[in-house]
Structure 1
Amino acid sequence: MVWTVVVTFAGAFAVSVAVPAWYGLQGRQLLIVTSGSMSPFVEAGDVAVLQTIDDPSQLQVGQVVTFWPPGSKHLVTHRVVDLQMLPVLEEAPGGRMVPRLGPDGQPILRPYVYTKGDANRTRDPNATPLSLVRGVVVGSHPGWGRWLAWAQSPTGRLTMLAPPLLLLGALELVEVAAERRRRPVLQPAPRREVPDVLDAV
């Protein structure tokens, strides 16, 4: 019974570490879906499998991508609805945004993607540079997100590691106590009376 608990909890911890690592070896990453904007393709609480890309120019309309929206610290996963070459903007005196010009005096163009959540009525307001696209979603695992988020949290890791460690510690204490009981008890040897010897004068 004790070893069953140890193996179960330790195995759960090992799986929570090994599964993301296994995907990482394939150049893939697991992302937890936190909103329903891509329903029914993926739902909140699912895990999306992201394939990293080396050449963003290979993106196509219809693919589901994960990207950093300009000025945001949160990743977004939406579907590509358009690809365009747009001028790179820079701030001019007075705060107005104007196209950046190249040596030939022409606006510098960069590839951008327009995206939209499948469950949203309108596309995202801003285009995203291809350089901010992290990868393409190639699969999903329904319901994995809640388990993975818990397993990777401090509470989850403590819950998985504490029981086996405590049980192993208890087993060690029991073994030490049993070893002490098995040791023979040594009785002191009887004391022999030695008569006093008086030298004759």
Structure 2
Amino acid sequence: MLDVALWTVVVVCGLAYATSLAVPLWFQLHQQRLLIVTSGSMAPKFDAGDAVVLRAISEESDLKVGQIISFWPIGSDDLVTHRIVALRKLPDLRQDETTGRMVAQLDANGEQRTKSYVVTKGDANAEADVNATPVGRVRGVQLAVHKGWGWVLQWAGSAQGRAVMLVPPLLALATLELLSIGDARRARRARPAAETADRRMDELLLD
């Protein structure tokens, strides 16, 4: 029974660890990405602890008002997932190195260049996001939501989660190895006694 329990630990924990690796990989192979939601700004569509499936955009025309996108806000490296409420063409501004002021960029004909921006808003927020975001900073468009997956994936990727999934099966395998060594030793000890008994039986038969 002990062997069965130990092998159960090995199989269950091994499958859990393999699944934690296979799920994100499956989405990557399908040109998609799982994003863990960390705030409630899009409630009730999704909330903290859910996982959002993203598809990267290849063209600016892929973006439509009403879509939910993940993007890097200007001046931040943290992904935000909000809904597009407007698409706009705004002046292409660059900071002047001498004055520090934002200056409009001109094309070869001397006309002001524009860039495409998205205006976004969290469904749970009263106001739209303060800054519009350049289309080039959009990471992807939301395809689906998996409730509660985020907490599980976050835990599985943490040091604690990996320890829970990997340490017990390693200990179980070590215990199984020790049990196997013990059985082999007992078998070796029993062999001389059995051989002695066989010789005695042979002597009795010869007499």
| Structure 1 unaligned spans of 5+ | 188-201
Q: Which residue of 2 aligns with 1:101?
A: 106
Please give the residue correspondences for 1:145-164 in structure 2 after superposition, counting only pairs within 5 Å: 145-164=150-169
What's 2:51 paired with? 47
Structure (1 or 2) with the larger CA radius of gyration: 1
CA positional deviation for 1:181: 2.2
* Deviation, structure 1 residue 67: 0.4
Following superposition, which runs of at least 4 residues in structure 1 exceed 4 angstroms of deviation? 184-187
1:4 Cα deviation after fit: 1.4
Q: Structure 1 length as normaliser, TM-score?
A: 0.89
SS of structure 1 residue aligned to 2:75: coil
132-141 vs 177-186, which moves further: 177-186
Q: Report the alpha carbon displacement of residue 182 of structure 1 after superposing the two structures with TM.
A: 1.5
SS of equivalent to 2:82: strand
- How many angstroms does 1:124 deviate by? 0.6
Corresponding pairs, count: 187
Matches within 5 A, 1:130-149: 130-149=135-154
Matches within 5 A, 1:179-190: 179-183=184-188
In the aligned structure 2, how far is the partner of 1:180 from the partner of 1:4?
25
- Give the residue type in structure 1 aligned to 2:77: K
Give the CA deviation at 1:146: 1.0
* CA deviation after TM superposition for structure 1 residue 56, in Å: 3.0
Which residue is equivalent to 2:30? Answer: 26
Identity %: 51
Which residue of 74, 78, 91 maps to 2:78?
74
* Number of the residue aligned with 2:134: 129
Match of 1:116 in 2: 121
Q: Please state how far the C-alpha of 1:142 moved relative to its aligned partner.
A: 0.8
Matched to 1:73, the amino acid is D
Counterpart position of 1:195: none
CA shift, 1:177, in A, is 2.1
Matches of 1:176 and 1:53 in 2, distance apart?
58
5+ long unaligned stretches in structure 2 = 194-207
Query: Any conservation in 2 of the 1:48–1:141 contact (CA below 8 Å)?
Result: yes
- Provide the C-alpha distance between the structure 2 equivalents of 1:19 and 1:10, rounded to a whole number of angstroms: 14
Q: 1:86 aligns with which of 90, 93, 118?
A: 90
- How far is 1:186 from its partner? 6.8
What TM-score do you get using the length of structure 2 for normalisation?
0.86
- The answer to whether the 8 Å contact 1:150/1:156 transfers is yes
Residue 107 of structure 1: how far off its partner (Å):
1.4
**Higher helix fraction (1 or 2):** 2
Instruction: Tell me if the contact between 1:56 and 1:133 (Cα under 8 Å) persists in the aligned partners.
Output: no
Are 1:57 and 1:130, in contact at CA under 8 Å, matched by a contact in 2? no
Please report the RMSD computed on the Cα atoms of aligned residues, expressed in angstroms.
1.5
